[in-house]
Amino acid sequence: MRVQLVISLCAIALATGCVTSQGGPATMKPLSQGSPGDTNRKASSSEVAVVNSFPVIHIFVALCDNVNQGIVPVSASLGNGDNPTTNLYWGAAFGVRTFFNRTKDWELVSEIKNPGPAILARSIFKRKDRDVFIVADAYRGKEIAQATWDFLQAASGHPGDAIEVAHGSRKFKFNSGGSAELVAYTGHDGLMDFKLQSTPQSQDDRKRKAIILACYSKHYFTEPLRRTGAEPLLWTTNLMAPEAYILSAAIEGWLRSETDEQIRLRAAKAYSSYQKSGLKGANKLFATGW
């Protein structure tokens, strides 16, 4: 009864493709590994996540998938979990890749196809006014469990990839995953559909910040995130459309060293502006801290 109610509310309130629970349990898979010849090298699981010399943000995007996720269906192109180019959460106007590529503050410096078995695309952005990088990974829609697991692994401090990119005459080397200071997940809340058979545990004493943009993410991610040792910078209390303008607003506040509450308010204002939902409702939708 509860699941049916959630689906009905989501279909009525969020025609933009907010996803809801109606699926069954799924088995967590091993952490995805890079392929031979990749630009990036997957760090050994026995290594400690190194500290980067400049801020790095790692965004895990579970592509919207009409077939393989328990969602209210969107159009065929927006809900094709095998095609990042047209996907609601990646290539569409408010998808991560498209939105950050069109902002005045970020520059796309690298794109990699199929960097791992579960990941269809990786886009790397550099802040135009300083040395800050975003690593955004588009996970195949049916690999939402893997995307969730990899996000929690990064939040716990599990090593990610060693990355090298060129920008003009400069070359930058840094690490993703647990080396990122800020990690984010965006997409359907897969924990409404499946349960984790295990949960990544904190690997070190670093307090990474985490953003989780998915329906009811505070309710479903509280215990898994707590075990990682990361701190919730921004998550949600209700149904929502997890689009990139929210990430952009939160990241801007984080880079400005604003308080967690100021960042929450930034996200709410951005959501209200784009969704025309009213600030009062948006304020209730976003939360920070435990």
Mean pLDDT, rounded, for 280-284: 96
Q: CA 108, 112, 116, 120 torsion: positive or negative?
A: positive
pLDDT tens-place string over residues 112-166: 999 999 999 999 999 999 999 999 999 999 999 999 999 999 999 999 999 999 9
Q: How many folded domains does the chain comprise? A: 1
In this predicted structure, the answer to whether residue 7 has a pLDDT above a threshold of 80 is no
In this predicted structure, the answer to whether residue 5 has a pLDDT above a threshold of 70 is no
Dihedral angle of Cα 194, 144, 260, 98, to the nearest 10 degrees:
-150
Q: Give the C-alpha distances (Å, rounded to integers) separating 115 from 35, 138, 199, 225, 248.
A: 7, 10, 24, 25, 24
Radius of gyration of the chain (CA): 17
Does residue 99 belong to any structural domain of this protein? yes
pLDDT tens-place string over residues 50-82: 999 999 999 999 999 999 999 999 999 999 999
- Find the domain containing 125 and state its range: 2-23+54-243
Mean pLDDT, rounded, for 233-244: 97
Does residue 217 belong to any structural domain of this protein? yes
Residue 48 has what pLDDT?
A: 83
